[in-house]
Structure 1
Amino acid sequence: MGQNQNEVRASSGISEKKWAILSIASIPLIMTLGNSMLIPILPQLEKELDITKLQSSYIITVYSIVAIILIPIAGFLSDKFGRKIVIVPSLIITGIGGIIAGWASWQMDSAFMWIIIGRVLQGIGAAGAFPIVLPLVGDLFKDDKDVSTTLGLIETSNTFGKVLSPVLGSLLAGLVWFLPFFSIPVFSLISLILILFLVKKPKNDKHELSFGRFSKNTKEIFKAHRRWLIAVFIIGAILMFILFGLLFYLSSILEDNYGYDGIKKGFLLAIPLAALCIASFTAGRVIKDSLIKMKWISFFGIVLVGATVAATMISDKFIYLIIVFSFCGIGIGAALPCLDAILTQSIEKEMRGTITSIFSSMRFAGVAAGPPVIALLMKGNNIDMILLLVGLSLIGALLALIAIKPEKEKQAIEIKPVLE
């Protein structure tokens, strides 16, 4: 009888974990949709709102800039008060931002400024939701293999959001141009309900980090692990810069050079993003708890990114570019969950939220900078753009090769941050 009860408890525990993973994975999916879904419909927003291309870029950029500023604060608050306490109100704020942007688009003649205000609120919500996912996974699972696998699923959810975004954004805007704004509160509500009811606070989960402790711990961690931490942060920014820069480039040439727009363009943009999504899922399953695998998969992933970007100089034929960018997506998708896992496994729980939040800020910085920089370079010769992206890939690969030392990162798990 006792054995049967134990089996039931074990089965129940596995089921609870699966639902918890699904709930947590909904957050990066929604946050990605909230931003990437608008990229393919910016030309339509320009016409409907009677704004310039520069103004339309603010709709994307303001979201990322706000998130960059507030993410480290959210990380500290999650270390001090707990993960769910930060995530829940952040999802509510995200939904409110979507309602404001959608209502202004629907009811106001001069809606642009109110849309920007709504996007600012969405950026605040993104800052307090998505970055906290990484440390939350580390809190929920004791086994490093479970952490790595789950982080792969989280990164897959994030990239799946990117796959879905261009198609869903184009589809919704095709029905009613401001419908993408109103979809955000619906998605946020679904995620909020999942988090509230299906993600339980881990046992012995104590968050008592004061600002004094926070400052001291941060200094200690950077003093001990400055070299590889900064390398991981820079690589994350480089990969997101390349990803969103190339998405902007591909979106532009699909419409300008090949005449694809609307749903067709959305599906074509989704092809390299689908490759990225599959690579993230696979990498998360392969790396398990091996920091050595994380290093080398990251390195070869970045090398693949640089090689595929360089290969765009060979031909500008449509099919060729889609294939090349798909391989680029594989490289980025393989590297990202490895970087997530390196941080989560190598930083003590008390400071995990803060450190992973700094990493998320760097990723958002890459997201914010990629499109405008590529837009400027596209005015001249594409060779300049290619050389920049290949150069950044080379820097990222060298950092992964030289600065990330698995034998040293493993020691970081044993080092207790100063708490007093």
Structure 2
Amino acid sequence: MTATQPKSKIHLLPLFALATVPLIMVLGNSMLIPILPQMQEEIGISKFQASLVITLFSVPAGIIIPLAGFLSDHYSRKVVIVPALLLYGAGGVVAGVAAWLMDNPYGVIMAGRVLQGLGAAGTAPIAMALAGDIWSGASRAKSLGIIEAANGLGKVLSPILGSLIALLFWYAAFFAFPIICIISAALVYFFVKEPKKNGQKQSLKQYVGALKKTFKAQGKWMLTAYLAGSVALFILFGVLFYISQILEEKYKVADLMRGLILSLPLLAMCSTSLITGAKIKKNMKLMKVLIVVGLALIGAPLAIAAFFDNPYILLGLLVVSGVGTGLVLPCLNTLITSAVQKEERGAVTALYGSVRFLGVAAGPPIFGALMDTPKLMFLIMAGLAAFCAVLAYFLINPGKGGGDTNPERYEKIEHERKLLTRMKARA
């Protein structure tokens, strides 16, 4: 096995190290959702201000992710991931100290959340690109499925973990971030071996030109995939925020029980992601089918939920919606990371991560604004999921013009280009 060829066999320790990155990234939002009602009460803020705890983490991440992707393509993935994790942890310290020592901590907490968001920009999307560099073919699909499952596992554990930590004091979750970020950074630094770059670095002009060619050839299906991923997470985090609020306001559910309830749809998503990643392998047509079916499973339960007020029925419907999300995300991850050569993979994957973050950022405030009209809210979201399913059905066409996402073809092109570069260098 040469340094120029991605590995086909998955080694558990590097994969475990990479999987900690999206797991920790998702803690940045999910761990705080169950404690937002308590935060509102403790520091005297409105529901909208509480939702900004999520938004001001996700928006900076969404904006900076493309820059992180370029830096990871131009230098290395690990040079971006490790400092980003440390910045993420530092933002947690800022927010935690403010909540602990200040009488009016809201502004400084928000500044800490912005720092965390800037750090998060260099985490999960770049880890996905690095996994795409290290593994190929069916192993790539499996590794990305496991990484997405780790992301889902973070979503499952984080409401419970956030509720448990809040039993100490409500802002304790902020101090958990630096601990787990340092551990993840150390794992990536010591145990993940990044494939060496071959040939000369692209100039910014060459790099932008290559990206333009990629989007000109494949823009329709890639933009559809970006939209689908963003909408899936927009709905997921919006619904989680909605459930957390009604459990607190309407049913007076305690923090820990609220965290357990919130974890059920996420557990469905996590387990489905793991199975999906293991089964899809290199089957692009199957991925398209699962994306369309998954989006339908996200939307249909929401349409039904519009006509029921029973919280148990609502929870069951949201579990089905979680299964749909678990079908969609691993397929999108594999399609997007396989669609381009390694030199542009960081940017393309980062743009995908950017729209995912922006979807997460938009969910809580929009769902919060629509909470007084839940029937309308659920019907709008169901319609949005259905719209994405229709777009995916018509525009994601593996193997056809404008949608050729065959990873073996791109790996062959990439390998041939590297051989040509080496031959030119020897000449």
TM class, shorter-length: over 0.9
CA distance in 2, matches of 1:15, 1:106: 47
- Which residue does the alignment assign to 1:111? 105
* Equivalent residue in structure 2 for 1:213, among 206, 215, 220: 206
Aligned ranges for residues 248-327 of structure 1 at < 5 Å?
248-327=241-320
Counting aligned pairs with the same residue, the percent is 42
Are 1:404 and 2:396 matched, yes or no? yes
The offset of 1:362, in angstroms, is 0.8
* Equivalent residue in structure 2 for 1:86, among 68, 80, 89: 80
Are 1:98 and 2:92 matched, yes or no? yes
The offset of 1:248, in angstroms, is 1.4
The one-letter code sitting in structure 2 at the alignment partner of 1:97 is: G
Question: Please, what TM-score do these two structures have when normalized by structure 2?
Answer: 0.91
Cα 1:152–1:412 change in 2 (3 A) is: closer
* Equivalent residue in structure 1 for 2:54, among 39, 57, 60: 60
Report if the CA contact (8 A) 1:72-1:354 is conserved: yes
Report if the CA contact (8 A) 2:48-2:365 is conserved: no
CA distance in 2, matches of 1:52, 1:251: 15
Cα 1:210–1:14 change in 2 (3 A) is: closer
Report if the CA contact (8 A) 2:235-2:363 is conserved: yes
Report if the CA contact (8 A) 1:131-1:356 is conserved: yes
Report if the CA contact (8 A) 1:98-1:122 is conserved: yes
The one-letter code sitting in structure 1 at the alignment partner of 2:26 is: T
Deviations 1:362-405 (A, max 9, x none): 111111111111111122x3221122111111111111100001
The offset of 1:110, in angstroms, is 2.5
* Equivalent residue in structure 2 for 1:120, among 114, 131, 140: 114
Report if the CA contact (8 A) 2:10-2:143 is conserved: no
The one-letter code sitting in structure 1 at the alignment partner of 2:310 is: K
Cα 1:205–1:271 change in 2 (3 A) is: farther
* Equivalent residue in structure 1 for 2:41, among 47, 51, 59: 47
The one-letter code sitting in structure 1 at the alignment partner of 2:186 is: I
Aligned ranges for residues 6-405 of structure 1 at < 5 Å?
17-141=11-135, 143-204=136-197, 208-379=201-372, 381-405=373-397
Report if the CA contact (8 A) 1:79-1:207 is conserved: no
The one-letter code sitting in structure 2 at the alignment partner of 1:278 is: S
Report if the CA contact (8 A) 2:88-2:116 is conserved: yes
Cα 1:206–1:58 change in 2 (3 A) is: farther
Report if the CA contact (8 A) 2:137-2:407 is conserved: no
The offset of 1:78, in angstroms, is 0.5
What SS class does the counterpart of residue 405 from structure 1 fall into?
A: coil
Deviations 1:338-374 (A, max 9, x none): 0000011111111111011111111111111111111
CA distance in 1, matches of 2:261, 2:323: 16
- Which residue does the alignment assign to 1:9? none
CA distance in 2, matches of 1:91, 1:207: 28
The one-letter code sitting in structure 2 at the alignment partner of 1:112 is: Y
Cα 1:15–1:237 change in 2 (3 A) is: closer
Alignment gaps of 5+ in structure 1: 1-5, 7-12
Cα 1:355–1:413 change in 2 (3 A) is: farther
CA distance in 1, matches of 2:196, 2:184: 23
* Count of residues in correspondence between the two structures: 407
Alignment gaps of 5+ in structure 2: 2-6, 422-427
The offset of 1:49, in angstroms, is 2.1
CA distance in 1, matches of 2:219, 2:395: 10
CA distance in 1, matches of 2:46, 2:364: 16
Deviations 1:47-79 (A, max 9, x none): 222323232222211111101110001001101
CA distance in 1, matches of 2:303, 2:47: 29
Over the aligned positions, Cα root-mean-square deviation in angstroms equals: 2.1
Cα 1:51–1:382 change in 2 (3 A) is: closer
Report if the CA contact (8 A) 2:62-2:354 is conserved: yes
CA distance in 2, matches of 1:251, 1:362: 24
The offset of 1:412, in angstroms, is 7.2
Report if the CA contact (8 A) 2:8-2:137 is conserved: no
The offset of 1:15, in angstroms, is 9.8
CA distance in 2, matches of 1:230, 1:140: 25
CA distance in 1, matches of 2:385, 2:145: 22
Report if the CA contact (8 A) 1:24-1:154 is conserved: yes
The offset of 1:14, in angstroms, is 9.9
Report if the CA contact (8 A) 1:81-1:207 is conserved: no
CA distance in 2, matches of 1:50, 1:290: 52
Report if the CA contact (8 A) 2:87-2:115 is conserved: yes
CA distance in 2, matches of 1:14, 1:239: 30
The one-letter code sitting in structure 1 at the alignment partner of 2:405 is: K
Report if the CA contact (8 A) 1:207-1:350 is conserved: no
CA distance in 1, matches of 2:251, 2:171: 26
Deviations 1:69-124 (A, max 9, x none): 10001001101001001111101111111111111222222322221121111001
